[in-house]
Amino acid sequence: MPTHTTAGGISLYYEDRGRGTPLVLLHGFPVDHRMWDAQAAALAGTCRVITPDLRGFGRSPAAAGTRAARPFTVEDLADDVRHLLAAVSALPCVLGGLSMGGYVALAFARRYPADLLGLALLDTQAGPDSAAAKANRQKNIDLARAKGPGAVVDAMLPKLFAPSADVARPELAAAVRRMAEGYTADTVERAMVALRDRPDATPGLAAIAVPTLVVVGDSDQITPPKLAEDMRDGIVGATLAVILGAGHLAPVERPPQVSETLGRFARDLTSGVRPKAAFDVSAMTDRLRAGR
């Protein structure tokens, strides 16, 4: 069910499918809630899947003169999500986020630990931007101002999927371009500033006390598997699933594998049968590696 909710002064678009334990999935940059369409369709029979557009992205407006049109931080985005979930009675929840969505999920975990049943961190990282990454944020802002947001998307595309995907699967780039159509230069600038200035989430990893699943594409060039391993090692009891043949946008590039991985995590969590320490997706990762 697609809808808008205004909570905390910010209007967010979200889609809400299925019933049961809320599984909330936060999109990355430069895409929107549609990056989760396959997972939402696959998992709506298992849980209540909520996919918002973060402030100013997709169908969540950043109308001039409103609070949404001001600069924001990843903490602000986490607060928006918390307001939305409280308004639609979806707390506590299992919260997942990819890349930028992962930074927001980590901020949510710092601010609202009691509202979490579980955490899924996909193709993201806990560390802050390096000096080079910060400089690249400014380049993207300048590019968006000079040539439009599409130029930023084009510059990112070679790194969003596994190396052969640009030739073998042109539909993936087309999907990203479609999702970024609504982006404005202002959207790009606010997002780049928020990502550039996000805090180091590493010190907070040890405080995460809910079952955590870390997922990464084996060919992720933006947040490579080593960063996923670091997060797994920093969060007590966390498990890691590597998606084969996937780059940064693994849920878009390998939908069934990511749906299966998230679905198993959500089912194990909600069944309550297995305690946190016993949750283990390594067997599943092995199976995916073996192509079974």
For ligand MLT, give the closer residue by CB, 136 or 270: 136
Residue 2 bridge partners (DSSP) = 15
For ligand MLT, give the closer residue by CB, 47 or 243: 243
Q: Examine residue 241 and tell whether it contacts ligand MLT (CB under 6 A).
A: no
Query: Least distance in Å: CB of 29 to ligand MLT?
Result: 4
Residues 6 or more apart whose CB falls under 8 angstroms from that of 137 comprise: 129, 192, 193, 195, 196
Query: Least distance in Å: CB of 197 to ligand MLT?
Result: 12
Q: What is the distance between the alpha carbons of residues 49 and 46, in angstroms, rounded to a whole number?
A: 9
For ligand MLT, give the closer residue by CB, 62 or 100: 100
Q: Which of residues 115-144 bind ligand MLT (CB under 6 A)?
A: none
Q: Examine residue 105 and tell whether it contacts ligand MLT (CB under 6 A).
A: no
Q: Convert residues 167-206 into a mask of x (bound to ligand MLT by CB under 6 A) and - (unbound).
A: ----------------------------x-----------
| The binder of ligand MLT chosen from 12, 100, 105, 246 (CB under 6 A) | 100
For ligand MLT, give the closer residue by CB, 248 or 254: 248
Of 261, 224, 209, the closest CA to residue 96 belongs to 261
Q: Examine residue 99 and tell whether it contacts ligand MLT (CB under 6 A).
A: yes
Query: Least distance in Å: CB of 248 to ligand MLT?
Result: 6
Q: What is the distance between the alpha carbons of residues 189 and 15, in angstroms, rounded to a whole number?
A: 26
| The binder of ligand MLT chosen from 10, 13, 28, 94 (CB under 6 A) | 28
Torsion of CA 269, 219, 100, 253, to 10 degrees: -70
Query: Least distance in Å: CB of 179 to ligand MLT?
Result: 12
Q: How many CB atoms neighbour CB 218 within 10 A?
A: 18
Residue 52 bridge partners (DSSP) = 14
Q: What is the distance between the alpha carbons of residues 41 and 44, in angstroms, rounded to a whole number?
A: 6
| The binder of ligand MLT chosen from 29, 36, 57, 108 (CB under 6 A) | 29
Residue 198 bridge partners (DSSP) = none
Q: What are phi and psi for residue 97, nearest 5 degrees?
A: -150, 145
The first and second tokens of residue 94, run together, are 């299992």
Beta strands in 45-176 (DSSP E): 48-52, 93-98, 116-122
For ligand MLT, give the closer residue by CB, 47 or 227: 227
The site for ligand MLT (CB under 6 A) is made up of 28-29, 99-100, 195, 222, 248
